[in-house]
């Protein structure tokens, strides 16, 4: 099992831009292609955005759903509930892209 | 020396923005000269709007080679906030008397960020904005989410705005009114261009107000991956906690407050996006 350290790939505790997510995705690709189990390690990461999550983990789940479900584990997030929420949402969105249109009730009412 | 007078009250609303824009459009007709920014008859300015005014001055300096002068002795009373938050020091050529030092701790100082300065922007939002005394009453969880929302907005600028010009930010705490106002501005393409392209086969959005509505609902035009819903997150905060939220892009001043959205037309706007949030406490 290969440990993939996010902070080592992006060089900062702030995983807040899509470009960093793409770097992480690209860093993981060789292991996907060789069908190697990985742990995506968020130790040292302070901030995470959905833009980052969707470009990295979400895209892995979207492009390689079978691999992702069985061979990706995530660690290092126990003190970061918002990051957990964003990562989970990116995974859900990858499985169900229409989901983003279902959560707009309160906001949609403003425009009716 | 050329001169332009800012007069009356300039607040965080459509009229206030239009006044600052009128200054930019006037000065933009000039090149290679000095400009006196006359504030003798300025009664009030929401100091967070220094972000807008600073972008305008930055563009005029860079493109039009204009140099600015402010009479130090006119920065009296409340207007000395334009000294305390750094605006005067960064803009004028006559820097001798200006020093950015906020002895009242009511400013969130004017700052510029390149679109890849993730650490600088993170530190500013976490330590300067969210730890400001004016946001003491905001719950920790809400601060965490707001932080994340602003990071999403920052990411969007880097992806969509197609600009090398920095993002400018500035805030101001008004303890008497129990309000804190925070402004972020970029000089990018704005909402309409990209969203009109992206929705040309679907929602066919052709006007700025609909483009802003579309973005606030959490839609995304990112080609490679969905998401980045900072604007939606900010409006959700305002829905839960009160306060208001403004987006200025293309010809639209979009304004959310008291559970309704209003749209105002802006005349002769420049490109880019301004985002204002007004935190309010009872």
Residue-wise pLDDT for A72-90, tens only, equals 999 999 888 889 999 998 9
Q: Is A31 helix (H, G, I), strand (E, B) or coil?
A: helix
With residue B184 as reference, give the H or E element that holds it. strand B179-186
* DSSP assignment string, B122-178: HHIIIIIITTSGGGTTS-HHHHHHHHHHHHHHHHHHHHHS---SPEEEEEEEETTTT
Residue B154 and residue A47: Cβ atoms within 8 Å?
no
Q: Please answer whether residues A43 and A77 qualify as being in contact, where contact means their C-beta atoms are separated by less than 8 angstroms.
A: no
Q: What is the CATH number of the domain that holds B150?
A: 3.30.565.10
Residue A25 lies in a domain: yes
Distance from the Cα of B230 to chain A's closest Cα (Å) equals 9
Summarised one tens digit per residue, pLDDT across range B99-125 is 778 888 899 999 999 999 999 999 999
Contact A10, A20 (CB under 8 A): yes
The length of chain B is 282
Q: What is the pTM of this model?
A: 0.91
Whether residue B212 has pLDDT greater than 80: yes
The tally of domains found in chain A comes to: 1
Res. B219 pLDDT band, cuts 50 70 90 = confident
> Domain span at residue A33?
2-99
- Token digits of residue B206: 């052709």
Per-residue pLDDT tens digits for B171-183: 999 999 989 999 9
Q: What is the domain count for chain B?
A: 1
The sign of the CA dihedral A84, B161, B280, B122 is: positive
When pLDDT is cut at 50, 70 and 90, the band that residue B226 belongs to is low
Q: What is the pLDDT of residue A104?
A: 53
Listed residue (B72, B66, B78, B79) closest to B94, CA to CA: B72
Q: Which residues of A touch B (CB under 8 A)?
A: 12, 14, 16-22, 46-55, 58-59, 82, 86, 89-90, 93, 97, 100, 103-104, 106-108, 110-111
Residue A107 lies in a domain: no
Cβ–Cβ gap A103/B226 under 8 Å = no
In angstroms, rounded to a whole number, what is the distance separating the alpha carbons of residues B262 and B48?
Answer: 21
* In-domain check, residue A87: yes
Cα dihedral B16, B183, B256, B227 sign: positive
A59 CB neighbours in chain B (<8 A) are 224-225
Locate A62 and state its tokens.
Answer: 């979207």
Q: Is residue A15 part of a domain?
A: yes
- Write out pLDDT tens, residues A23-56: 999 999 999 999 999 999 999 999 998 889 999 9
> Is A13 contained in some domain?
yes
Distance CA B81, CA B181 (A): 14
* Domain that residue B84 falls in: 2-280
């Amino acid at each position: 099992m290969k440990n993939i350290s996010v902070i080592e790939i992006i060089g900062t505790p702030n995983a807040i831009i899509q470009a960093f997510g793409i770097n992480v995705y690209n860093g993981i690709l060789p292991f996907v292609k060789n069908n190697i189990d990985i742990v995506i390690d968020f130790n040292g990461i302070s901030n995470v955005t959905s833009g980052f999550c969707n470009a990295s983990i979400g895209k892995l789940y979207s492009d390689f759903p079978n691999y992702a479900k069985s061979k990706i584990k995530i660690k290092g997030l126990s003190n970061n509930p918002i990051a957990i929420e964003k990562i989970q949402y990116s995974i859900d969105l990858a499985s169900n892209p229409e989901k983003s249109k279902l959560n707009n009730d309160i906001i949609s009412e403003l425009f009716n | 020396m050329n001169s332009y007078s800012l007069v009356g009250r300039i607040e965080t609303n459509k009229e206030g923005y239009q006044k600052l824009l009128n200054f930019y459009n006037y000065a933009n007709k000039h090149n290679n000269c000095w400009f006196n920014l006359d504030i003798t008859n300025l009664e009030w300015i929401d100091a967070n709007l220094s972000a807008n005014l600073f972008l305008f001055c930055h563009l005029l300096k860079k493109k039009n080679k204009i140099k600015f002068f402010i009479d130090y002795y006119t920065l009296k009373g409340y207007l000395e906030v334009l000294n305390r938050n750094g605006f005067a020091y960064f803009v004028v050529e006559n820097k001798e008397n200006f020093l950015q030092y906020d002895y009242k701790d009511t400013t969130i100082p004017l700052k510029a960020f390149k679109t890849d300065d993730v650490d600088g922007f993170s530190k500013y939002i976490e330590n300067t904005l969210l730890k400001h005394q004016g946001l003491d009453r905001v719950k920790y969880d809400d601060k965490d989410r707001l932080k994340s929302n602003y990071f999403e907005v920052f990411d969007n600028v880097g992806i969509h705005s197609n600009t090398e010009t920095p993002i400018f930010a500035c805030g101001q705490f008004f303890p008497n009114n129990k309000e804190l106002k925070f402004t972020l501005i970029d000089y990018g393409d704005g909402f309409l261009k990209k969203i009109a392209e992206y929705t040309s086969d679907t929602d066919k959005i052709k006007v700025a107000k609909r483009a802003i509505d579309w973005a606030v609902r959490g839609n995304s035009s990112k080609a490679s991956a969905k998401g980045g819903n900072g604007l939606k997150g900010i409006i959700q905060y305002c829905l839960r906690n009160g306060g208001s939220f403004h987006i200025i892009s293309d010809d639209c001043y979009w304004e959310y407050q008291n559970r309704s959205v209003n749209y105002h037309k802006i005349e002769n706007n420049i490109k880019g996006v301004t985002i204002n949030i007004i935190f309010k406490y009872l």
